[in-house]
Amino acid sequence: MEEPEPAGAAQPGLRSLLPPREFLSSRKGQLLLAESVLSFIIFICYIASLAASFMMAPLLEFLLALFLFFAYASKLNEKFKGLYWPLTDFLRCVTAAIIYFAISIAAVSKYNDGASKAAGVFGFVATIVFAIDFYITFNDLLSFLKQGSSDPPEGHKSEDENSDSDSD
């Protein structure tokens, strides 16, 4: 006869939806979590403000950051090798930092309500977080490109190398 689980124990099905502790304690996990939370707060602030026309950018950034958070947490980047994940993440961070900086300046300077000012201030903080993320990702890209220039990965041999091996 099976013993019942304690009331505080999580169900195995629900537990699989939560990201692993190792990812949450990693730098990338913390940055993606901060980006998601900040984007959601900015989205809510823009909904409550006179600058509601700016709400689409934080919503899209929230959804993209949330997708990448769960993609990295569930190791989809290791399963789908066709997409170069750091480059995708780098482009997302660069565009997000530029967009947040631009709409934050507009929200703070053009609108006088408190929610617009709060969205602008959170937008400047999000700009800094996204800039930190794209700086770290850029360094990863550089190290990959330096390593890749000296010796190509197995699946990415040049045409010359393939033709040499075919002629033997």
The residues spanned by each domain of the chain are 21-75+85-148
Render pLDDT for 14-56 as a digit per residue (tens, 0 to 9): 666 667 777 778 888 899 999 999 999 999 999 999 888 899 9
Render pLDDT for 83-125 as a digit per residue (tens, 0 to 9): 778 888 899 999 999 999 999 999 999 999 999 999 999 999 9
Which pLDDT value is given to residue 155? 39
Strand, coil or helix: 48: coil
pTM of the model: 0.74
The residue with greater pLDDT, 19 or 139, is 139
Tell me how far apart the alpha carbons of residues 127 and 95 are, in angstroms, rounded to a whole number. 10
Which pLDDT value is given to residue 86? 83
